[in-house]
């Protein structure tokens, strides 16, 4: 399950669909782990975007925060990082 809190950032529906496309791999790995909850919060601070996420699954919890000048760069980095950490947890369970 994904919970997106966009805060003071206006995301168009096409942006939300793009975000879900980037998170597909992480969602599949999270579903295999079980008890998967991803909470993403986004704020605009000046000219930068502050994006933080927390992941809860059956293998454990982790959270991270990043600040980028473009929301697309922030979410792309976020999607990659989540998929890599979930993959590591998946391998750790075996």
Tens of pLDDT, residue by residue over 22-46, are: 999 999 999 998 889 999 999 999 9
CATH code of the domain in which 60 resides: 3.30.160.100
Tens of pLDDT, residue by residue over 47-72, are: 999 999 999 998 889 999 999 999 89
pTM of the model: 0.85
Tell me which residue range forms the domain holding 19: 2-93
Query: If you write DSSP's letter for every residue of 19-77 in order, what string do you get?
Result: HHHHTHHHHHHHHHHSS-EEEEEEEEETTEEEEEEEEEETTEEEEEEEEESSHHHHHHH
Tens of pLDDT, residue by residue over 77-90, are: 999 999 999 999 88
Please state the domain count of the chain: 1
């Amino acid at each position: 399950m994904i919970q997106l809190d966009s805060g003071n950032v206006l995301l168009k529906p096409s942006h939300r669909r793009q975000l879900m496309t980037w998170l597909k791999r992480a969602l599949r790995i999270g579903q295999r782990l079980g008890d998967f909850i991803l909470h993403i919060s986004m704020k605009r601070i000046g000219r930068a975007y502050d994006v933080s996420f927390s992941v809860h699954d059956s293998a454990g919890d982790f959270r991270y925060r990043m600040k980028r000048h473009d929301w697309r760069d922030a979410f792309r980095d976020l999607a990659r990082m989540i998929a890599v950490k979930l993959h590591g947890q998946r391998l750790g369970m075996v």
